[in-house]
Amino acid sequence: MSETPNELVHYSVDSAGAVATITLDSPHNRNALSRQLVTELFGHLQAAQANADVRVVLIQSSGKVFCSGADLSEAATVSMEEGTRRIIALQRLIATMDKVVITKNLGAVRAGGIGVVAAADIAIAAEESSFALTEVKLGLAAAIISLSVFHRMDPRSASLTALSGETFSGADAAAYGLVTKAVPAAELDAYVDDLVANVATGAAQGIRETKKVLNRELVARIDADGEEMANLSTSLFGSDEAREAMMAFLSRPKG
C-alpha cells in the first residue's frame, strides 16, 4: 500500500500476503499518541483484521523511539475523555483481533506507548531500549494502560515502575514480564524477521482460537474495568495539578 501524504502511520502487506506491517512515523512528536496517530493506527489494525490472508501484524517505528505516550500538547488543552476511551479500545482491538500482533522496539517507549506493547501478543525489544511509566511525574496514573500493562507485569515490578516513574531497560522489561524477549540491538531486526516468518506459518483457525484462550482474562479485565479507568484518567488529565505539570514539561527547552 502506498503512503498517503501527511499520514503518521504506514501500512503494508508482504508479497505473500501473510504479514502486515504497521509503522509509526511521527518523528516531530516522538510518535506521541495524538488523535491522528491513534486514528490511523486503529484503522490499519482494522484493515489487517479484515484481510483473511494476514496471519501476523508487526507494529514498529520508523526511528528509534517507538512511542512517547500521550500527546501532551493535546492533553494540556483539550478534554481527554474521547482519547482515553480510544486507547482502551485500541488495547482491546489488539487483544481480540484474530491475528498475532507483534511489537518491535529498538529505542524508547513511554507511558501510553507501553500499553500498545503490553496489549500485543508478542513483544520483542532491544536490550538497550528504555521504558518508563512517567504518568506519576505529571500528576497522572497509568490508569487506562494498567488494563494490559499490569496484566503482563509481576506485581512488584509494576509497583516499582509505576510509582517511581523512572526508566528501565529492555532487559529489565523482559525480566518484569512486560516484553516477551530482549535481544541485542544489532540482532533485533534479524530476530524479529525470523519470528514473524515462523509465526506466519500458523493456521488461521489455530491462531484465532489460541488467542481467545490466551487473552480471555485480559479481555475480561478490559471489559470489566475499562470504564472506571477511562473516567479516572480523564479526571486526572483535566486536573489543575496535571495541566500545570504538562505545561511545565512542554515549556522545557528542547535538546
Give the CATH H-level superfamily of domain 9-188: 2-enoyl-CoA Hydratase; Chain A, domain 1 (3.90.226.10)
Q: What is the pLDDT of residue 1?
A: 53
Strand order across the 9-13 sheet: 9-13, 19-24, 56-61, 100-105, 122-126, 181-183
Helical ranges in 200-254 per DSSP H: 204-214, 216-237, 240-250
Looking at residues 92-101, what average pLDDT do you find?
Answer: 98
Q: pLDDT-derived band of residue 80, with 50, 70 and 90 as boundaries?
A: confident
Q: What is the pLDDT of residue 72?
A: 84
Show the cell assigned to 32.
Answer: 506521541
Least confident of 64-73, 84-93, 110-119, 225-234: 64-73
Q: What is the pLDDT of residue 205?
A: 98
Record the pTM.
0.95
Residues 149-199 pLDDT 10s? 999 999 999 999 999 999 999 999 999 999 999 999 999 999 999 999 999
Following DSSP, what letter does each residue of 170-213 receive, concatenated?
A: HHHHHHHTSSSEEE-GGGHHHHHHHHHHHHTTS-HHHHHHHHHH
